[in-house]
Amino acid sequence: MIIPLFTKLLTTERQNKIIEVSKALKIDPNWLSAVMYFETGRSFSTKAKNPIGSVGLIQFTRDKAGVEYKTINGVKYNLSDIQKMTFNEQMDLVFQYYKSFAGKMNSFVDVYLVTFFPNALNKTDDYVFQTKGLKASLIAKQNPAFDKNKDGQITRKEVTDYFKGLFKENFNLIDKKKTLNRIKTIWKK
């Protein structure tokens, strides 16, 4: 059920946990696997940490500058505590992070967008990543890989195109669009 690109890096126990969480979120387990593969630098390590201090399987990021915690469903989690969690513990937190989006994520890109920039979920391809308090140019500067045309802004299409290039032939296996029958079939197995 999970494609070989990911299974070769995961124990059976970890694969089963990803499948369990994905089923609860009503998503394909490849979508969640692809997000974690990318966010951990292809390692699936709970200890992964990026240069700005984001940690773990989906790179949990501090709520705001000057604090070292991430609030998920009203609970504050210290980033260093998240980084110390086991794979299964962190997967339970991954579930908590995504659960309010269950049933709303219809592709791998949707799951990634909920991770990176939830405001972009269910927007058109020309949607520019920005908020009232966060300029498009800053988001592009901090995420230059996505700003392919170097115009100082990131669109949803640029994110999709980036992942098509990253995953190449695996992209079509990963990003199969969800249909009710396909997901029902997956979860009957």
pLDDT in tens, the chain (189 residues): 899 999 999 999 999 999 999 999 999 999 999 999 999 999 999 999 998 899 999 999 999 889 999 999 999 999 999 999 999 999 999 999 999 999 999 999 999 999 999 999 999 999 999 999 899 999 999 999 999 999 999 999 999 999 999 998 888 888 765 544 555 555 565
Position 174 scores a pLDDT of 84
CA distance 165 to 13: 30
Buried b or exposed e, range 128-165, using 16+ CB within 10 angstroms: bbbeeeeebeebbeebeebbeeeeebbbbebbbebbee
Q: What is the C-alpha end-to-end distance of the chain, expressed in Å?
A: 9
- Name 18's Cβ contacts closer than 8 Å, sequence gap at least 6: 2, 10, 29, 32, 33, 36, 91
Position 186 scores a pLDDT of 55
